[in-house]
Structure 1
Amino acid sequence: MMKFISKRTFEIRLFLILTGIIIFGSVTAQTTTKSYSIELAGFQIGDMKVEEIKRNEIIEYNLKSLVSFWFFGKINVELTINSIYKNGKLISSDSKSISNRGSFYSKIKWNGTSYLVDSHSYKFDNKTSIQNLVPFSIVKFYFQEPNPQQMMISETFGLTSLISKKEQGVYQIEINGNRNKFVFKNGDLDHALIQNPIKNYMIKRIY
């Protein structure tokens, strides 16, 4: 026999269900956001937002930057990166760079035995697969101080590098011939010095 409930009882049950969903979601998803400025020769040329979303064994990292500078004409660049980690290992990454000088992309995905790489950057293409799971990537620097000699991967180039510790809180990687330095203070990334084929620049934390 079908049992009917009153409208009031239905509303109370619906409220409890929705409240449970909200509470459960707030417990299982923790979001941290940080802001950085992008500077060239002491002048700010852009800004960056980075986000870490933790959902149990899954961690998602999002990066978005907007840059505008002069190099034989004005260059505007928008970069977005989305990286997914599971149990501390990178399992996928999507990177897109859109500019008035051309657009580029890079996709990295773990297929169970290796990373499939499809990277197309400025004057650089790469489809070489990577055999071993990697515990670190560029976006992770913004939220975690690495261990020395830890392997990392560049989302935009699909290339790996060992992380070398130069001094306390200072780490260096080499990607496609460019040496990038990351400087931590009290366990948080304070700034990064980035070598680039067009212009070298600094990424600096906004506190």
Structure 2
Amino acid sequence: MYRQLFRLSVIFILIFFLHPSFVSGQEEVKYDISVAGISIGEMTAVKRKAGQKTSYEVRSEVSFWFFGRINVDYLVETEFHGKQLISSDSQSKTNRGDFRTLIQWDKDHYKVDSKNYKYENTSPIHKPLHFSSSVFFFEEPVNISEFMADGFGLVSPIQKVKDYYEVDVNGNKNKYYYVNGVLEKIVMYSPIKNYVVKRK
């Protein structure tokens, strides 16, 4: 009986430790979100890898004053197969309305259905992409010229400027700062409020 229990224990340990998702592991980073030096919320980015599949989850909660109190819960879930973006689901739940952008690879193009703040987009994208908003948190975009802006369903340019990368997302130019390949800070420009995302 003890021998059988021992064998079962060994089998369980081998299955658990050799499972692809465990071997590849999970990465998680946390950021503080601030406006004019005042903290308004937090952001957590998670990367999970299992075999050829890599998934990203970026979640944030902020609360700030803009002609009244605004609360925003944001979640984007992105999936890659190999190096190619396969799908993205961005959701913003606010006390002023809810918004969502769905992006899905379909044979030879991305289907896009974006309903954002004062913005809508259903234009398909007829080429595969290999970088998205979520990936910035885990990879420096060295030699990358464009990416999928998850919240808008747009192909947006990336340009290296001095000590940061500048991206143009629907007319808003955001700046990503890396130190030794690690994302330390983002200066974000938005129609409502400009803010800074800084690594904890």
With normalisation by structure 2, the TM-score equals 0.94
2:160 aligned with 1:205: no
1:114-172 residue CA offsets vs partner (Å, 9 max, x unmatched): 0111111101111111111111111111110002452201111001112111124x101
Query: SS of 1:12's equivalent?
Result: helix
For residue 25 of structure 2, give the secondary structure of its aligned residue in structure 1. Answer: strand
Question: Does 1:60 pair with 2:55?
Answer: yes
- The alignment's C-alpha RMSD in Å is 1.4
Measure the CA separation in 2 of the matches of 1:63 and 1:149: 21
Q: How does 1:1-207 map to 2 (within 5 A)?
A: 7-25=1-19, 27-168=22-163, 170-206=164-200
Give the aligned partner of residue 4 of structure 1.
none
Partner secondary structure for residue 52 of structure 1: strand
Q: Which residue of 2 aligns with 1:3?
A: none
Amino acid in the other structure paired with 2:132: S
Q: Distance in 1 between matches of 2:106 and 2:141?
A: 25
Partners of 1:36 and 1:205 within 8 A in 2 = yes
Secondary structure of 1:32 counterpart? strand
Gaps of at least 5 residues in structure 2 are: none
User: Counterparts of 1:138 and 1:191 in 2: how far apart (Å)?
Assistant: 14
Greater shift, 69-78 or 140-149, is seen at 140-149
Shift of 1:19: 1.2
Question: How far 1:9 sits from its partner (Å)?
Answer: 4.8
Which structure would you say has the larger Rg?
1
Tell me if the contact between 1:148 and 1:164 (Cα under 8 Å) persists in the aligned partners. no
56-65 or 195-204: which moved more? 56-65
The offset of 1:55, in angstroms, is 1.6
Question: SS in structure 2 opposite 1:28?
Answer: helix
CA shift, 1:8, in A, is 4.2
C-alpha distance in structure 2 between counterparts of 1:132 and 1:62, whole Å = 23
**Cα offset, 1:17, TM superposition:** 2.4
For the 8 Å contact 1:147–1:163, the answer to whether it is kept is no
Taking only the aligned residue pairs, the percentage that are identical comes to 37
Partner of 1:61, secondary structure, is: strand
